[in-house]
Amino acid sequence: MPASGAHILSDFEGKFDALTFVCSKCDRRGRYNLATLIDRFGADATVPNVLAEISADCPRRSPNRKSALDLCGVHVHELIRPTK
């Protein structure tokens, strides 16, 4: 993990074969092979940067949204910790 505190793709090697990107605001979701992501973005790519690239065409990514509550909710499903 870099100094920014963001996970990088190499953090997931040996733990996951693929990562699932899910949006909490819409029905978009996709499962991406980790090796393919590393080939495309590099092992040191941060998860936020990869998410931004993958969801770049999302209309909710626009900085001109009227409400911050309506922004894109894309995240890596495998990073969500269940609550007790």
Burial 7-23 (b: 16+ CB within 10 A, else e): bbbebbeeeeeebebbb
The domain limits of the chain are 9-79
pLDDT at 2: 58
Q: How many Cα atoms occupy the beta-carbon half-sphere of 5 within 13 Å?
A: 0
Burial 42-78 (b: 16+ CB within 10 A, else e): eeebbbeebbeebbeebeeeeeeeeeeeeebebbbee
28-61 tens-digit pLDDT? 899 999 999 999 999 999 999 999 999 888 888 7
pTM of the model: 0.79
Q: Report helix, strand and coil shares of the chain as percent, to nearest 5.
A: 35, 20, 45
Q: What is the mean pLDDT of the chain?
A: 86
Q: How confident is the model at residue 73 (pLDDT cuts 50, 70, 90)?
A: confident
pLDDT at 45: 96
